[in-house]
Structure 1
Amino acid sequence: MSSNPLTALQASPSTHGQDGPTRVLIVDDSAVARALIARQIEPHERFRVIGAVTHVEAALTFLNDHAADIILLDVEMPGVDGITALPRLITAGRGARVIIVSASTPAGGAAAVQALAHGAADTLDKPRPQGLAEFGDILLQKLDGLAQSMDRPVQAAPAPVSPLGSRTRPAVQRSLPDIIGIGASTGGIHALAKLLAPIPATMTVPIVVTQHLPATFIPFFAAQLTAVAHRPCIMAQDRMRVRPGEILVAPGDAHVTFVRLTDGSAAIRLKHERARSGCLPSVDPMFASMAELWGERAWGIVLTGMGRDGLEGARMLKAAGGTIVAQDRDSAVVWGMPGAIVTDGLADLVMTPDAVGAMIAAGGSC
């Protein structure tokens, strides 16, 4: 394919949604990778590859004249790399979602997590000739999820109104719980960064996070949260005690559940079987176990993500008297997971991630 963004592929003049297919821009210095990615997309009429360029400056030039809905961005390129260029591409994309394409190596995992924390919507392992069928399935799943998130209906599903949404509402006072569980998927790392940033280091309620990520990404994810939250963030291990002030992160290949110890404290129990949601790790077992051990003294927070993971567990936590918080539609990259919570009538509060963090920082007052 040509590296000239204006001649590589013709740009679609249509807007996203009912007027035409979802428009995809590929940014990768490898001709082989560009060809392999385009070949997986082009047979599907709901998508259109509108450009395939070799470097960041070409992408920025292309975006000056053409609109893309999704940008597939390589991390390692000559000149300006994808991580450095990400803020400029997000601005130039005018709402386009960015999927980071990286090698399945420690360096690639660290770069991908860094990109997710700075606003990329999702990640994807670089294609390999011997694994094209699996790569194509994963790519299309991610493209479909992001495309659906852009098709926002005129009227949202009925939802509780966040008390922060109106200054005329009286303040709502909630005591902080004994534990906070957070579930997230696509767009979750950026949302988590916004949620955790306002919380002071003196807040002692333990936080447990289930984020859909490959297992190889989890150490970098934990390090990223440690930097943002200014408190220890540790990958959960079996039989590990739940300690005040710590953030525990589910490993990429196990669900986090809990057991009560004889001294009244709690410890982690990792489970590896597939949840009904099909996710591993899954938010559902975490919320269900929180309902059993803490009941009304637990908060379950559901952030941006594809699918409905967390819904079943939130039902159990809500039935046990726990508080359920869902991310609002406008701030979510994909409103699948929080939208399912809201549509089911489970959300006590619907808020932006930074508003949730501010509420926790205020001791439960909002």
Structure 2
Amino acid sequence: MARAIMARAITASGEGVVVQAVPTVAAAMAFLATGTVEFILLDINLPGVDGLTALPDLLVAAPGAKVVVVSSAAEGIQALALGAAEVLAKPGPADYTRRFSATLVDTLTRLSAPAGTAVPSRATAAKPLEPIPASRKSQSIVPPPSPTSADFDLVAIGASTGGIHALSLLLREIPASCRVPILITQHLPASFMPYFAAQLTVLAGRPCDVAIDRLRVRPGRMVVAPGDAHMVGVRLPDGGTAIRLSHDQAASGCLPSVDPMLTSLVAIHGNRLLTIILSGMGRDGSDGARAAHAVGGCVVAQDSASSVVWGMPGAVVAAGA
């Protein structure tokens, strides 16, 4: 029933064609041996080999295809870390409503957008990006000077679609000796956040908390924004940093938004803030990255080739930040 409902939603939208709907991973692999697809809609709970186990093989069998997982929160986070492009919360039997169908079509439409374009959606109210000049595109692959952890007081990371996979690769490379706190704003539903924090703890080998109001930022720990509030930094009287939660409207339309996190942290740490913008749709984070760049801070944007969607990092590059 679920396959039929999703296929009907896609067909009715006029935005795509369902070339195959199969009940098992084996059937999907058999089709992909000769067929090509732009997207794979993957349920985790399948007979035989489950979707999570099969995900790496599906990505190899369908090079260039984007996998959208329909799953619960815990499995969805694992799927994103393994390379899925997006996760949709799996509705119950009575919940395959018009809203879910609209969300599915919206997700596929946004993921189909060419690199460097911003597609307004339920999560963003983005301004269109201007074409990125070739000279600026090249900036994304020019290695900057190699700073060390001693150069920074804090690391702030912003990400959205495709960002969890990139984030998992990045965090694995940070040595345990690095004690600089890491703050992360990743666009995810609030229900996913406890699982996300637990996954990051395992990936990074350091504790990760979901932000709560007035939480003190501590060395050697990570903090992720909750799914229903912005994470904003404030200076403490002793010179430390704490987190306040905000529900103010962000220019990007995102909640949580990367920009409030970055602009507040720039005001506290100046050029001792390391800003990293990973794969994601829209342009959330570009205003904060410009603020960091303006005070001489180090801003790193993921390159187009490795991004699932080069929207957020592309906007930073287009802004010259």
Confirm or deny a common fold (TM above 0.5). Answer: yes
2:236 is aligned with 1:261? yes
Contact 1:34/1:52, CA 8 A, preserved across alignment: yes
Q: How does 1:206-225 map to 2 (within 5 A)?
A: 206-225=181-200
Report the CA distance between 1:130 and its aligned residue: 4.7
Amino acid at match of 1:94: P
Distance 2:256 2:304 in 1: 24
CA RMSD of aligned residues (A): 2.1
User: Following superposition, which runs of at least 4 residues in structure 1 exceed 6 angstroms of deviation?
Assistant: 150-155
For residues 190-216 of structure 1, the C-alpha deviation after alignment (integer angstroms, 9 at most, x for no partner) is 100111111111101110000001111
Distance 1:150 1:70 in 2: 16
Contact 1:36/1:127, CA 8 A, preserved across alignment: no
Report the CA distance between 1:150 and its aligned residue: 6.8
**Quick check: which has more Rg, 1 or 2?**
1
Distance 2:222 2:266 in 1: 19
| TM-score calculated relative to the size of structure 1 | 0.79
Equivalence for 2:286:
311
Please give the secondary structure, in 1, of the residue aligned with 2:299: strand
2:50 is aligned with 1:125? no
Equivalence for 2:154:
179
How many residues in Structure 1 have an aligned counterpart in Structure 2?
305
Report the CA distance between 1:149 and its aligned residue: 4.4
Contact 2:229/2:255, CA 8 A, preserved across alignment: yes
Equivalence for 1:34:
3
Contact 1:72/1:100, CA 8 A, preserved across alignment: yes
Higher relative contact order (CA 8 A, sep 6+): 2
Equivalence for 2:80:
116
2:44 is aligned with 1:80? no
For residues 311-362 of structure 1, the C-alpha deviation after alignment (integer angstroms, 9 at most, x for no partner) is 122222222332211000000000010001111111xxxxxxxxxxxxxxxx
Note the residue ranges of structure 1 that are not aligned, 5 or more in a row: 1-31, 103-107, 166-170, 347-366
2:289 is aligned with 1:320? no
Note the residue ranges of structure 2 that are not aligned, 5 or more in a row: 118-130
Give the percent of matched residue pairs that are identical in Structure 1 and Structure 2.
Answer: 51
For residues 117-142 of structure 1, the C-alpha deviation after alignment (integer angstroms, 9 at most, x for no partner) is 11111101235655622212221221
Equivalence for 2:123:
none
For residues 98-118 of structure 1, the C-alpha deviation after alignment (integer angstroms, 9 at most, x for no partner) is 01101xxxxx21111011111
Report the CA distance between 1:62 and its aligned residue: 0.8
Report the CA distance between 1:274 and its aligned residue: 2.8
Q: Structure 1 residues 158, 196: CA separation in 2 closer, same or farther (over 3 Å shift)?
A: same
Please give the secondary structure, in 2, of the residue aligned with 1:52: coil
Equivalence for 1:48:
17
Report the CA distance between 1:145 and its aligned residue: 2.1
Distance 1:98 1:312 in 2: 30
Amino acid at match of 2:87: T
Report the CA distance between 1:176 and its aligned residue: 2.7
